[in-house]
Amino acid sequence: MKNYFKKKEFLKWPARPSRRQVFLLNYFWNNLNIIRAELKAPIIITSFNRSIQKYRSMKARGLYPSPTSDHFWGQAVPCQLDKHKKIYGPYFTESAGAADIVTPTISVFYAFRLIVKMAVTGVVNLGQVIYEKRRHPTPAEWIHLSNPRDHIFNKTYLEKTGGLKRKFLTSKNGGKTYRVFSF
């Protein structure tokens, strides 16, 4: 398969990624190459590897980043909420890897529907596919894609910790609330 993505397109990757992060990146990179080939349209990665500082900055700006986001790419992140401390201990490390993308030449929602179809039919293997839109502070829409947690972590552990996430969602308020998507 032709490589539609160069790994340098993955913004702000750690200078010395761990073996686990390299594994997660390769898994994700393979899926993105398939998606770009199937869409026959450009894809731009707008958000990728998130640090705890970036998370805090987003919260301060009134955005709704998840404290257990797959954007952390396996980094040990201090748990922010008591409910997460009870499940994971002082640090959350179970992030599977994620990126937000836009499609500048086709409708983002149309691309989202096509990617969901690819995931349902087994063309790609993704964890979550989420269409997100917000009006404030800056209007934007994007697609959140993540690696499949049940292929990376022990399924029994994920069931015990509540780490299995709903696959196909939409949010029209920038991630504050979500709805399950179905055709």
CATH number, domain at 40? 3.30.1380.10
- Residue 146 pLDDT > 90: yes
> 95 and 73 in contact (C-beta within 8 Å)?
yes
Sign of CA dihedral 63, 58, 49, 10: positive
Asked whether residue 146 is assigned to any structural domain, the reply reads: yes
77: nearest Cα among 94, 93, 53 = 93
Asked whether residue 144 is assigned to any structural domain, the reply reads: yes
Mean pLDDT, the chain, rounded, equals 87
Asked whether residue 7 is assigned to any structural domain, the reply reads: no
pLDDT of residue 108: 97
For the segment 54-70, what is each residue's pLDDT rounded down to a tens digit? Answer: 889 988 988 888 888 99
pLDDT of residue 13: 64
Asked whether residue 2 is assigned to any structural domain, the reply reads: no
**Calpha distance 44→46 (Å, rounded):** 6
Asked whether residue 6 is assigned to any structural domain, the reply reads: no
pLDDT of residue 9: 63
**Calpha distance 1→57 (Å, rounded):** 38
44: nearest Cα among 10, 16, 82 = 10
Sign of CA dihedral 144, 147, 149, 153: negative
For the segment 78-137, what is each residue's pLDDT rounded down to a tens digit? Answer: 998 898 898 888 998 888 999 999 999 999 999 999 999 999 999 999 999 999 999 887
pTM: 0.88
Q: Give the count of domains, the chain.
A: 1
Radius of gyration of the chain (CA): 16
Q: What does residue 79 show for φ and ψ, rounded to 5 degrees?
A: -70, 130
Cα end-to-end distance, the chain, whole Å: 29
Q: Which domain holds residue 155?
A: 15-180
Asked whether residue 1 is assigned to any structural domain, the reply reads: no
Confidence of residue 12 (pLDDT cuts 50, 70, 90): low
Rounded average pLDDT over 129-152? 92
> 95 and 69 in contact (C-beta within 8 Å)?
yes
Asked whether residue 104 is assigned to any structural domain, the reply reads: yes
Asked whether residue 9 is assigned to any structural domain, the reply reads: no
- Residue 5 pLDDT > 80: no
